[in-house]
Amino acid sequence: MQDRNFDDLADKFSQNIYGTRKGQVRQAILWDELEAILPTLPAGTLSVLDAGGGVGQISSGLAARGHQVLLCDLSAEMLKLAETHARAEGVSHNMQFRQISAQQVGGHLDKPVDLVLFHAVLEWVADPQAVLQALWQTLQPGGVLSLMFYNAHGLTFRTLTLGNFGYLRANMTKRKKRTLSPDFPRDPDDVNRWLTACGFEIEQRAGIRVFCDYMKPQPGVVKSVEEIIEMERRYCRQEPFLSLGRYIHVTARKPRQKDQL
């Protein structure tokens, strides 16, 4: 099996992921998590790796704060969109772009980084444990992995609410291979086990879109994005809602060395 390359769907990916209400909710919760992470890292300019960074929506925001970002992606088309976005935001001077996989990027770093972003990539890679181990190697002690992955439990619950029982009986096997539906939805227990095996300490978890995908439309009633984000923020770190998120974000830290404590 090969990791997914989005050259053929780059424009559609960008529009569908970021140009929607779902995208706004996702961005809001991700930034909440990052706002909790950043104060725990060294003061001043941080070195950031955005692995499989796509169009760089989050990492360009970090670059706007003065941090130095290396964005890598397998897709040349995605990198073009990321560079265009960085120029439009006026942050290209704080960003570098490399067409390379997350597994290989460690060999292209001058030194370990403070923060790794790995958002919505784990569900597309054939060997997730190897990728997480590779990202562990890119982090300096005390550094943080910001990991967001497509939640298998959220997919199951969504499929149940739609009454798509045939899809469940088929073990939710994709009929079309080249779509924006992730190839490998991840069980959170598996992800936690892989992170622990690498040596990470899991500090916080949050669900993303813990209810908004399950809302039943009411005639004549339209909920604003702001209202939805308010409720997502209220419940995203509480069980059982967290585990129903379409995505789950995990804050995982590489332990500090003893002389740093």
Looking at the domain assignment, is residue 121 inside a domain? yes
Residue 82 labelled as part of a binding site: no
| Confidence band, pLDDT 50/70/90 cuts, at residue 22 | very high
Question: Domain range spanning residue 245?
Answer: 7-255
Whether residue 94 is contained in a domain is answered as: yes
190 is in an annotated binding site: no
Residues 61-75: tens digit of each pLDDT: 999 999 999 999 999
Which is more confident, 146 or 21? Answer: 146
Whole-angstrom CA distances from 224 to 48, 49, 231 are 33, 34, 11
Is 76 labeled as ligand-binding? no
Q: Is 61 annotated as a binding residue?
A: no
**pTM more than 0.85:** yes
What is the Cα gyration radius of the chain?
18
Residue 193 lies in a domain: yes
Q: Is residue 68 part of a domain?
A: yes
pLDDT in tens, 67-118: 999 999 999 999 999 999 999 999 999 999 999 999 999 998 999 999 999 9
Give the mean pLDDT of the chain. Answer: 91
List, as one string, the DSSP characters of 32-73. Answer: HHHHHHGGGSPSSPPEEEEET-TT-HHHHHHHHTT-EEEEEE
Residue 9: the pLDDT is: 54
Whether 260 is in a domain gets the answer: no
Pairing of strands 68-73, 47-51: parallel
53 labelled as ligand-binding?
A: yes
Tell me phi and psi for residue 195, to 5 degrees: -65, -45
pLDDT confidence tier of residue 173, bands split at 50, 70 and 90:
confident
Per the domain annotation, does 1 fall within a domain?
no
> Which among 61, 72, 71 is positioned nearest to 32, based on CA atoms?
61
154 carries a ligand binding annotation: no
Confidence of residue 257 (pLDDT cuts 50, 70, 90): confident
User: What secondary structure letter does DSSP report for 16?
Assistant: H
Residue 74, domain member (yes or no):
yes
Say if CB 150 and CB 246 are below 8 A apart.
yes
- Residue 72, in any domain of the structure: yes
Output the domain CATH number for residue 11.
3.40.50.150
Q: Is 103 annotated as a binding residue?
A: yes
Number of structural domains in the chain: 1
Q: Residues with Cβ < 8 Å from 11, sequence gap 6 or more?
A: 77, 81
